């Protein structure tokens, strides 16, 4: 099988009316699955909604706006682990150019995109790829993607950044720098929400207390979800929490994000002018569970191609030890819920757990006379 045949886009363009069995999710995962467009429309009628928070007031030192902003972000991060952020400071034209560049790349012929193909089996995770069955369920996800480091620029491997369209590199570089500034602002707000000085979380993530000063890393992943004939059986991205500190999400106007809240799946509404922000595992560890790493998944559509841009804000992989901030445990305030680990160790543990879960499923299937593929 050629690389082109492995791409979900090629499968979608072939005109199949059914999806191969490796894309069909287990029965227990199909609760509230459906067409992203249809569920996006009904989400507008749902009274349970992901919070929308305007952070522009944080820059105002006068009045009560700053305190109200901190409390709104704190509440959303603690209760939901996700929020739509308005007043984020990302100019509309910058966001529009980013979307246009990403969509232009995925509009290229598959064979041309293959010049940037990754090779996860060889440890090359960055580049153009498709998610194969390296997940807990052993099932494939209905997406192709482009993944690479976007900040800091001097650490990025620019050979993995598309040369076509030519504006991709400058637009992505500009966007990465702007999101880095937004990450600092949100970490300051989240620190204050814990009753800590506003520099606390970022200093911890950069290793100041451990004698280092490594910058945060921003990874960009453009998810391309082709049309799918059975959106009630497939997912673009399976249910998971992000390993990051924070994740920033834009999309092409086609809804599809679902988050798990209060025992049910909630479909994100379209909130023009906002950017979605997730709390990730690393922030949950630092805050000893005060802020929640949100379980979420991505839907697909029968009639529309969905594209999302996700920036994962991560701590340095090995130089910083992730552990609950000591001030949150002081004076008997609580016991640490997480053992210390580096970010790299956390990722490895999570990958190992997925592999172990899959092995357990395979063993159970074999004991029932089923051959698990």
Residue 251 catalytic?
Answer: no
Place of tokens 């988050």: 259
Q: Which residues of 106-129 are buried (b: 16+ CB within 10 A; e: fewer)?
A: bebebeebbebebeeeeeeebbbb
H or E stretch including 12?
Answer: helix 8-13
Among the listed residues 221, 260, 261, 278, the single catalytic one is: 221
Residue 296 catalytic?
Answer: yes
Among the listed residues 35, 144, 242, 281, the single catalytic one is: 242
Residue 88 catalytic?
Answer: no
Residue 298's closest CA among 94, 69, 68, 33? 33
Cite the DSSP H helix spans in 109-243: 110-113, 168-193, 200-206
Distance CA 225, CA 235 (A): 9
Q: Tell me if 172 sits within 8 A of 161, measured CB to CB.
A: yes
Q: Tell me if 237 sits within 8 A of 297, measured CB to CB.
A: yes
Residue 154 catalytic?
Answer: no
Distance CA 328, CA 138 (A): 39
Among the listed residues 84, 260, 278, 296, the single catalytic one is: 296
Residue 237's closest CA among 184, 308, 167? 308
Among the listed residues 185, 240, 350, 354, the single catalytic one is: 240
Tokens for 95? 């966001």
Distance CA 89, CA 162 (A): 26
Catalytic residues: 221, 240, 242, 296
């Amino acid at each position: 099988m050629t690389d082109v045949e492995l791409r979900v886009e090629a499968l979608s363009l072939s005109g199949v009316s059914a999806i191969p069995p490796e894309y069909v999710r287990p029965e227990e995962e199909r609760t509230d699955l459906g067409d992203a467009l249809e569920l996006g429309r009904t989400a507008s009628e749902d009274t349970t909604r992901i919070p929308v928070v305007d952070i522009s007031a944080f820059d105002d030192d006068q009045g009560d706006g700053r305190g109200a902003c901190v409390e709104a972000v704190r509440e959303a991060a603690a209760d939901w682990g996700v929020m739509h952020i308005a007043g984020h400071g990302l100019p509309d034209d910058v966001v529009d150019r980013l979307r246009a560049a990403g969509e232009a790349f995925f509009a290229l012929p598959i064979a041309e995109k293959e010049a940037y193909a990754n090779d996860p089996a060889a440890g090359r995770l960055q580049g153009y790829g498709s998610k194969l069955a390296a997940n807990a369920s052993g099932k494939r996800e209905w997406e192709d993607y482009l993944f690479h480091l976007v900040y800091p620029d001097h650490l990025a491997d620019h050979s993995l950044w598309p040369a076509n369209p030519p504006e991709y590199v400058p637009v992505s570089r500009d966007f990465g720098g702007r999101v880095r500034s937004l990450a600092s602002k949100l970490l300051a707000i989240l620190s204050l929400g814990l009753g800590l000085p506003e520099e606390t979380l970022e200093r911890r993530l950069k290793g100041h207390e451990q004698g280092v000063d490594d910058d945060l890393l921003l990874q960009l992943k453009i998810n391309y979800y082709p049309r799918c004939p059975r959106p009630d059986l497939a997912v673009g991205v399976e249910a998971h929490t992000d390993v990051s500190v924070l994740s920033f999400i834009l999309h092409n106007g086609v809804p599809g994000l679902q988050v798990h809240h209060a025992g049910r799946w909630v479909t994100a509404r379209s909130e023009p002018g906002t950017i979605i922000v997730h709390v990730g595992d690393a922030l949950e560890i630092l805050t000893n569970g005060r802020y929640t790493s949100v379980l979420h998944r991505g839907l697909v559509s029968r009639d529309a191609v969905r594209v999302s841009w996700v920036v994962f804000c991560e701590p340095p992989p090995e130089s910083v030890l992730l552990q609950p901030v000591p001030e949150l445990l002081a004076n008997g305030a609580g016991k640490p819920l997480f053992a210390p680990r580096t970010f790299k160790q956390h990722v490895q543990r999570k990958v190992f757990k997925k592999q172990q879960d899959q092995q357990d499923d395979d063993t159970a299937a074999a004991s029932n006379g089923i051959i698990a593929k």
